[in-house]
């Protein structure tokens, strides 16, 4: 059974997709052991609690420096025995020190088809604003391994989503979550848990 730690910052819609996929059997041989938020009061922690999963808050500003904060993250992850770390709307850049510590054990879902609209500053609605400004007809989501380069790790899965006339960043974001992120992120976890990746 693969033990998973999920790192979050906000509402936790991707976390919910993971929890639902475990419940429905779409993810097998894996269990969410702990949810860690870098934002106090993030609704994702409520989702974890409702599923009987331990939730922890580790705010960067409560630590002397980034290294101390990342060490606290490492301790929480190792404490629960997690073998896979999933960044699900986690709005913090992790250092090379952290990514090397968990090399090939961290995955992220990004709301575009990497290498488009990714890297520093490309997160949340910024990604969808950039896609609409460019006039692309197709966007989507990417699940990838996390390394020291922002959105630079090896791609695991991608799914395209059509951009529609009249889309706003918000409508595009919602469609990409529903038609791509909530499908390929659980699938990637299942593939890892069952040694297909």
- Catalytic residue IDs: 110
The residue length of the chain stands at 197
Q: Is 165 helix (H, G, I), strand (E, B) or coil?
A: coil
The CA distances from residue 181 to 36, 57, 58, 105, 126, in Å, are 20, 24, 25, 19, 16
- CB proximity list for 75: less than 8 A, separation 6 or greater: none
90 CB neighbour count, 10 Å cutoff: 25
């Amino acid at each position: 059974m693969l033990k998973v730690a999920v790192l979050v910052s906000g509402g936790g819609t991707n976390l919910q997709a993971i929890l639902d996929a475990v419940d429905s059997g779409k993810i097998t041989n894996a269990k969410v052991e702990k949810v860690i938020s870098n934002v106090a009061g993030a609704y994702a922690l409520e989702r974890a609690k409702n599923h009987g999963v331990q939730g922890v808050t580790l705010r960067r500003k409560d630590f002397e420096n980034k290294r101390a904060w990342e060490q606290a993250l490492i301790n929480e992850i190792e404490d629960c025995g997690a073998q896979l770390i999933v960044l699900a709307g986690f709005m913090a850049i992790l250092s090379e020190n952290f990514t090397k510590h968990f090399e090939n054990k961290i995955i992220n879902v990004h709301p575009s088809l990497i290498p488009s609209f990714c890297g520093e500053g490309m997160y949340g609605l910024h990604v969808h604003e950039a896609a609409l400004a460019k006039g692309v007809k197709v966007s989507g989501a990417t699940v990838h391994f996390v390394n020291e380069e922002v959105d630079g790790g090896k791609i695991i899965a991608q799914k395209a989503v059509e951009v529609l006339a009249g889309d706003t960043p918000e409508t595009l974001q919602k469609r990409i979550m529903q038609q791509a992120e909530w499908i390929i992120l659980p699938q990637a976890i299942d593939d890892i848990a069952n040694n297909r990746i």
